[in-house]
């Protein structure tokens, strides 16, 4: 049975770390409900499999994660493309963990998207240093807007501006870290 939280998880400020050789793997349906969660995901998130299956994947969304990055992620995978993104998640007890996520759509024989598959690994400290600074800038831009959709759009526009100034595409930026 999926977990339904009555209130948001309060972050503790304690960071959990993946080992170099660990992979978090999950699958979701088209609405983002978890259909598969490997043992590494269960361990680091602190949720049991029965709590994860059927739950929305945003169950582990950390409040410091920019809305704009998730908008970019969802827009990309719903268009049938893959994406790599740095993500900070929150565990059931409020601890957090950073990952480099590779998210791809899963297709049926007819080429229709059935759901999504994500592999996540430990990011490098160098990459996190740059990502944390970028995400602080995006969150600052998002806070200037009262509605969540407008905040996400403004954050994406800010990200696009930053990328244009660096003459990199989003994928090039992620792979340079």
Segment 82-99, tens digit of pLDDT: 999 999 999 999 999 999
Q: Are 135 and 69 in contact (CB under 8 A)?
A: yes
Residue 85 zone, left/alpha/beta (φ > 0; ψ -120 to 50; rest): beta
Residue 56, beta-bridge partner list: 33
Tokens found for residue 4: 């339904």
Specify the pLDDT at position 8.
79
0.85 exceeded by the pTM? yes
Tokens found for residue 169: 């595409």
The CATH number of the structural domain formed by 24-176 is: 3.30.450.20
Helix (H, G, I), strand (E, B) or coil at 24: strand
Walk across the sheet containing 34-37 and list its strands.
34-37, 24-29, 113-121, 96-107, 83-90
């Amino acid at each position: 049975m999926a977990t339904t939280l009555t209130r948001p998880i309060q972050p503790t400020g304690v960071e959990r770390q993946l080992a170099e050789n660990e992979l978090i793997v999950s699958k979701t349906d088209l609405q983002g409900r978890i259909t598969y969660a490997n043992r590494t995901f269960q361990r680091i998130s602190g949720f049991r499999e029965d709590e994860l299956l059927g739950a929305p994947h945003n169950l582990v969304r950390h409040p410091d994660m920019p809305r704009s990055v998730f908008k970019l992620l969802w827009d990309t995978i719903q268009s049938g493309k893959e994406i790599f993104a740095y993500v900070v998640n929150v565990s059931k007890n409020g601890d957090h963990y950073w990952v480099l996520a590779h998210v791809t759509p899963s297709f049926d024989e007819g080429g229709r998207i059935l759901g999504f598959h994500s592999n996540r690994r430990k990011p490098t400290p160098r990459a996190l240093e740059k990502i944390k600074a970028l995400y602080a800038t995006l969150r600052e831009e998002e806070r200037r807007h009262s509605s969540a959709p407008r905040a996400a759009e403004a954050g994406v526009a800010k990200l696009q501006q930053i990328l244009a100034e660096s003459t990199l595409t989003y994928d090039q930026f992620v792979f340079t870290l």
